[in-house]
Structure 1
Amino acid sequence: MPTDAHDLRHHGDAEVRDDGAALVDLAVNVRAGTPPPWLREVIAGSLGGLAAYPDGRRAREAVAARHGVGAERVLLTAGAAEAFVLLARALKVCRPVVVHPQFTEPEAALRDAGHTVGRVLLRAEDGFRLDPAAVPEDADLVVIGNPTNPTSVLHPAADVAGLARPGRTLVVDEAFMDAVPGEREALAGRTDVPGLVVLRSLTKTWGLAGLRVGYVLAHPETVAELARAQPLWPVCTPALTAAEACVAPRALAEAAHAAHRVAADRAHLVAGLARIAGVRVVEPAAGPFVLVRLPRAAAVRRRLRDLGFAVRRGDTFPGLGEDWLRLAVRDRATTDAFLHALETAATPGGDPAGRSAG
């Protein structure tokens, strides 16, 4: 597959912004109804300190305590996306490999930094589950998501950790792990896996995409190397305040409750999708989204827009084609309305705008 066959810079927000239409958003994986009021108040309370330069020490220590590691193992970043850029620019690697289908920013950042990137394509017929033997032994940087965007597959922690090798950096994107009940299969906080770099985002569960905040957990030497590649004061004061608040016990309890609610809402969505002819869901799904395959998916996506719903196209992910869509999990009322629209859109001749099904 040519490395330029997919638009690696296309993301779910483009599905909502395309034409300015007022669409129900099932394209972006940020939890609906966020940030919660208490978090907005905390962030607003930080604005009085904007005259001072940001000081990330308290937030860094709070993140470290949340994962039971020393603060020297934590790097705060302007979202997980910045971490991918830092890794691509700061680490001296010769053969980076990205396990696909997954979030495309890691490969885009590596290519922009001048690297030639290898791809390991997981197969639909295997449920997109990780085959550790498919990763080349000489890869000195391996990137994998867990749970993986867009497949919603949760790989066993032992399989992911088993990718570690002497001289290899193993990057695990756990941006959606806090949406998994109990964070089972998480590697965050592990210090026994050589070369492990775990990325976390506070964007998805807390609705902070516009604030940009995330963090890296890694060996202190790796953290120091990445920090040297950062600009001064990379994370703003409101984002630092949010990071500290989102790893506090109260917030962790709220996130755990939300993870169970998302799991129940996802089961409702999957059950509804199973009743629509021609729709196949990648299961078991573990994230706050599901990946589906259906005939004429591109046309169905256009019809859904006419019916007021935005979904994420799948063909920009390496390893997927035009017959794939990613659907964010929403509350049951929204899901029921969407399922009705999808059934209409997936029926040949059911286009409300009168277009053909081709």
Structure 2
Amino acid sequence: MRTDGEHDLRHHGDAEVRDGGSALVDLAVNVRAGTPPPWLRERVAASLTGLAAYPDGRAARAAVAARHGLPVERVLLTAGAAEAFVLLARSLKARQPVVVHPQFTEPEAALRDAGHRVDRVLLREADGFRLDPAAVPEDADLVVIGNPTNPTSVLHPAETIARLARSGRTLVVDEAFMDAVPGEREALAGRTDIPGLVVLRSLTKTWGLAGLRIGYVLAAPDTIAVLERAQPLWPVSTPALAAAEACMSPRALAEAAHAAHRITADRAHLVAGLEEFASDGVRVTGPADGPFVLVRLPRATAVRRHLRDLGYAVRRGDTFPGLGEEWLRLAVRDRQTVNSFLQALDQAVTLARR
């Protein structure tokens, strides 16, 4: 595991459910429940008849480009966003990389593995974990930030992030959860007026394709060319390419938009339920705009252990730089699941207090 001496940067939500398997109700992994939908499984299954041929990504790349109104030269398909972070770390000649935390830890892990010395900007709970562009050092030539940010669920204004752009600086914005935001407000994907902008998107969260590994990068053609040269031949499999093309269809975009509104309603229900625990010291970071919420509570480690005993997996927060053992991240689920979870949380908080 890649660590920084204090944080396990390679700990992710799947570790919370791996040992418990199907016995645990999963609120630890930020993949939309009930996915992939049947029509997407059928598209992936139909692609299996073409496995004897080498993957051809032209149609999928064109579909992604059309979805964002970009030329294909600005699109690179990757084996999930994780591959994109590795490509960026290995290919870009950054001298002063900065990662804005708390956020997804894989970008920093990839940079460290590539030999970079990484500086951090730690956003503060007192400020609602919101970005102050002035906090980022002027000499940073690579800046990484998530939007909406995992695990805080903060959605930064697009123009606030755009203020980080500088001549000679690469600005990497991880928009893996942006399609869970109604209208994708504050998205930078598709923008070509911001110098050095690199936007990462993932199809694994909304469509339940974590096991298939598919995502993409949107950037200037010269940046895309550098990243593409660092990829091995045929980096994205034929089934993953089929999924990417299918997820760019009007039907898929309409379904994703509908899901985003449903997630918003389900998240409000979860937050309202959590606020009932205010007298127990539970605090919800807000406003939340992602398909997950970040909570702070006393004895969180014990609460998490008791929740596991009661059949629920949640994500520990102390592996995120800027957070400690009193933090947990909860994925948004349907109301029935949330109601059952809140009952279990009531028991877990009581047990932890003893």
Q: Which moved more, 1:18-27 or 1:51-60?
A: 18-27
Q: Which residue of 1 aligns with 2:318?
A: 315
TM-score after normalising by structure 1: 0.97
Output aligned runs, 1:295-314, within 5 Å.
295-314=298-317
Q: Distance in 1 between matches of 2:242 and 2:18?
A: 29
Q: CA deviation at 1:269?
A: 0.1
Q: CA deviation at 1:141?
A: 0.1
Q: Which residue of 2 aligns with 1:133?
A: 134
Q: Are 1:294 and 2:297 matched, yes or no?
A: yes
Question: Residue by residue, what CA displacement relative to the aligned partner does 1:281-327 show, whole Å, maximum 9, x if unpaired?
Answer: 00000000000000000000000001000000000000000000000
Question: Residue by residue, what CA displacement relative to the aligned partner does 1:133-184 show, whole Å, maximum 9, x if unpaired?
Answer: 1000000000000000000000000000110000000000000000000000
Identity across the alignment (%): 82
Q: Distance in 2 between matches of 1:78 and 1:216?
A: 11
Q: Are 1:210 and 2:211 matched, yes or no?
A: yes
Q: Are 1:44 and 2:34 matched, yes or no?
A: no
Unpaired runs of at least 5, structure 2: none
Q: Are 1:91 and 2:119 matched, yes or no?
A: no
Q: Distance in 2 between matches of 1:343 and 1:121?
A: 32
Output aligned runs, 1:10-21, within 5 Å.
10-20=11-21
Output aligned runs, 1:174-193, within 5 Å.
174-193=175-194
Q: Distance in 2 between matches of 1:329 and 1:111?
A: 31
Partner letter of residue 339 of structure 1?
Answer: L
Q: CA deviation at 1:18?
A: 3.1
Q: Which residue of 2 aligns with 1:328?
A: 331
Q: CA deviation at 1:344?
A: 1.1
Q: Which residue of 1 aligns with 2:343?
A: 340
Q: Are 1:224 and 2:225 matched, yes or no?
A: yes
Q: CA deviation at 1:19?
A: 4.6
Q: Distance in 2 between matches of 1:93 and 1:335?
A: 43
Unpaired runs of at least 5, structure 1: none
Q: Distance in 1 between matches of 2:62 and 2:224?
A: 14
Q: Distance in 1 between matches of 2:276 and 2:346?
A: 9
Q: Which moved more, 1:200-209 or 1:17-26?
A: 17-26
Q: Which residue of 1 aligns with 2:195?
A: 194
Name the SS of the counterpart of 1:346 in structure 2.
helix
Q: Which residue of 2 aligns with 1:114?
A: 115
Q: Distance in 2 between matches of 1:77 and 1:321?
A: 32
Partner letter of residue 142 of structure 1?
Answer: V
Q: CA deviation at 1:21?
A: 6.5
Q: Distance in 1 between matches of 2:309 and 2:50?
A: 45
Aligned structure 1 segments of 4 or more residues deviating by more than 2 angstroms = 18-21
Q: CA deviation at 1:250?
A: 0.6
Output aligned runs, 1:216-255, within 5 Å.
216-255=217-256
Q: Are 1:280 and 2:283 matched, yes or no?
A: yes
Q: Which residue of 2 aligns with 1:158?
A: 159
Q: Distance in 1 between matches of 2:207 and 2:21?
A: 24
Q: Distance in 2 between matches of 1:15 and 1:3?
A: 21
Partner letter of residue 99 of structure 1?
Answer: V
Q: CA deviation at 1:248?
A: 0.7
Q: Distance in 2 between matches of 1:4 and 1:214?
A: 30
Name the SS of the counterpart of 1:143 in structure 2.
strand
TM-score after normalising by structure 2: 0.98
Q: Distance in 1 between matches of 2:293 and 2:211?
A: 24
Q: Which residue of 1 aligns with 2:78?
A: 77
Q: Distance in 2 between matches of 1:50 and 1:62?
A: 21
